[in-house]
Amino acid sequence: MISLHGLTKEFPGGVRAIDALDLEIADGEFFALLGPSGCGKTTLLRTIAGLETPTRGRVAIGGVDVTATPPGRRDVAMVFQDYALFPHMDVTDNIAYPLRIRKVPRAERRARAAETAARLSLAELLARRPGQLSGGQQQRVALARAIACHPRAFLFDEPLSNLDARLRLEARTFLKRLQRDLAVTTVFVTHDQGEALALADRVAVMSGGRIMQVGTPAEVFQRPASTFVASFIGSTPMNLLPGEVRGGGLRVAGARLPLPQEAAGLPEGAGVVYGVRPEYVDLSPAPRPGAFAGRVAVLENLGTAHLVTLEVPAEDGEPPAGSEPGGATVQAVVPEGGEPALGEAVWAAPRHERALVYHDDVLLTRAPDRAAR
C-alpha cells in the first residue's frame, strides 16, 4: 500500500508542483494519475520513487514511512517515459541490471533475465542493443527490467506515449493483462483519459498539483465531481451549459428542463451548470419538450457514429446568468445513418436521468441514490 499525507513539492523558484496532497493506493491496485500537462503527475510519481524530496508531507510504502529513504531502498521499479534503457548494454544486461545491483550471481541473473524476457516475448532479442529495437520492443524491455527485480510497486511515467496509435492499443491490453497476472501495485501516469479509464482500477484526476477526484473509471466517467473533471474525461467532452433554477424547473440554453431531484434544495434563481454527455443527447427533427432547439453547425465522422455540433441561438428575453449572449453549443453523438444534414434545424433532448447538475462547481447528488449510483 502506498499512502501520501499532506504531500507538497515546491521547486526552487516557487513552482508548487504538488499541493498538500493525500492519497491511498491499495495493494495490487492498478492506479492511474490523470491530468493535463504540467499538473504535477510526473513530480508526484518521482516523489513516490524518491527521486524528488517532498517539501512537506510523508510518503509511506507498505505501512513504512519512506520519506527519507533513498530511491534504491524503496523497493519500487520505475519505467520512464523515454524508457532509459542503457544504450551500451544489450537486452539481457539491461533486464538484469537491477539484479546486478543486488549482487545476484551472473549466471542466475542471466537466467532470470531470459525468463522474464520470454514472458514478454523478447526471447529472440536478448543479444540486441536498445538502438536496434522498435519502440514497442523497447517498451517491453523496460517493463521486463522493472519486473525482473520483483518490486513491491511499479511506477510508470507515460509508458505508452512514445508508441504510435495502433501499437499503443496493443500495449495497453498487454499491460493490463500483465498487471493482473503479477498483481503488483502499479501507479501509472498518463494524460490520456482513454488510457486511464481503460487500464486502471482507480483513477485520480489531477489539476494544479491537487487531486480533483479519485474513483473507479465508471465513477469519474459517469459522475465527474467537478466541471473540470467533467470536461477532462470522455473522448468527446461533456456538454456543460449554464442555466438557472426557475419556476420549479431549469432554464438551460432556451430549453425548459424538469428540475432533477438532486437540485430540489436550490433556491429560485440559483445559477447551475447542466452537464450531459453527447452520447446521452438524442436528436429529433421535430420539436420536443425539454429539448434544445438548434441548427447543425458541424458534422464530424467518428467512424461508427457522428458527432453533431448544434448552435442553439440565444433565448429571446433575458439570457441565463453566465451564458454567452451569442447562444450555446450543444454536441450530440448519433449512430451511423441517423445524422442530420448540415444547417438543418433539429431538437436535442438530453436524457435527464443521465444529466448532472453542478452548483458552485460541485456535483449535486441525491443522498439515497449515492451508493446505488
Ligand X SMILES: Nc1ncnc2c1ncn2[C@@H]1O[C@H](COP(=O)(O)OP(=O)(O)OP(=O)(O)O)[C@@H](O)[C@H]1O
Interface residues with another protein (CB under 8 A) are 12, 46, 49-52, 70-74, 76-78, 80-82, 84, 86-89, 97-98, 101-102, 149, 155
- Angular region, 196: left φ>0, alpha ψ -120 to 50, beta rest: alpha
Distances (CA, A) of 216 to 27, 47, 202, 213: 15, 23, 4, 10
For 254, counting Cβ atoms within 10 Å of its Cβ (0-12 exposed, 13-18 middle, 19+ buried), the class is buried
Residue 20 touches ligand X, criterion: CB under 6 A: no
Please give the Cα distance from 58 to 49 (Å, whole number). Answer: 13
Cα–Cα nearest to 305, from 276, 329, 282: 282
The interaxial angle of helices 106-119 and 91-101, nearest 10 deg, is: 130
Distances (CA, A) of 81 to 88, 156, 190: 19, 8, 10
Judged by CB, which is closer to Mg ion: 37, or 304? Answer: 37
Residue 136 — φ and ψ, nearest 5°?
-65, -40
Judged by CB, which is closer to another protein: 38, or 71? Answer: 71
Cell of 42: 510526473
Position among 7, 25, 30, 40 found at the interface with ligand X (CB under 6 A): 40
Please give the Cα distance from 273 to 252 (Å, whole number). Answer: 9
Least Å from the CB of residue 167 to Mg ion: 20
Judged by CB, which is closer to Mg ion: 42, or 185? Answer: 42
- Which strand ranges, in their side-by-side order, compose the sheet holding 185-190? 76-79, 153-157, 185-190, 30-34, 202-207, 210-215
Judged by CB, which is closer to another protein: 102, or 370? Answer: 102
Q: Which residue, judged by CB position, is nearest to ligand X in the bound state? A: 42
Judged by CB, which is closer to another protein: 99, or 305? Answer: 99
Cα–Cα nearest to 33, from 210, 162, 173, 164: 210
Least Å from the CB of residue 35 to Mg ion: 9
Residue 42 touches Mg ion, criterion: CB under 5 A: yes
Residue 14 touches ligand X, criterion: CB under 6 A: no
Stretch of residues binding ligand X (CB under 6 A), selected from 38-46, 148-156, 253-261, 295-303: 38-46
Position among 38, 151, 249, 271 found at the interface with ligand X (CB under 6 A): 38
Judged by CB, which is closer to another protein: 50, or 350? Answer: 50
Judged by CB, which is closer to ligand X: 13, or 325? Answer: 13
Contacted by 304, from another protein, ligand X, Mg ion, none: CB < 5 to 8 Å by type: none
Q: Which residue, judged by CB position, is nearest to Mg ion in the bound state? A: 42
Least Å from the CB of residue 28 to ligand X: 25
Judged by CB, which is closer to Mg ion: 42, or 138? Answer: 42
Please give the Cα distance from 242 to 358 (Å, whole number). Answer: 9
Contacted by 144, from Mg ion, ligand X, another protein, none: CB < 5 to 8 Å by type: none
Half-sphere exposure of 260 (CA within 13 A, CB side): 26
Least Å from the CB of residue 13 to Mg ion: 18
Please give the Cα distance from 4 to 61 (Å, whole number). Answer: 9
Residues forming the site for Mg ion (CB under 5 A): 42
Residues forming the site for ligand X (CB under 6 A): 11, 13, 15, 17, 35, 37-43, 191
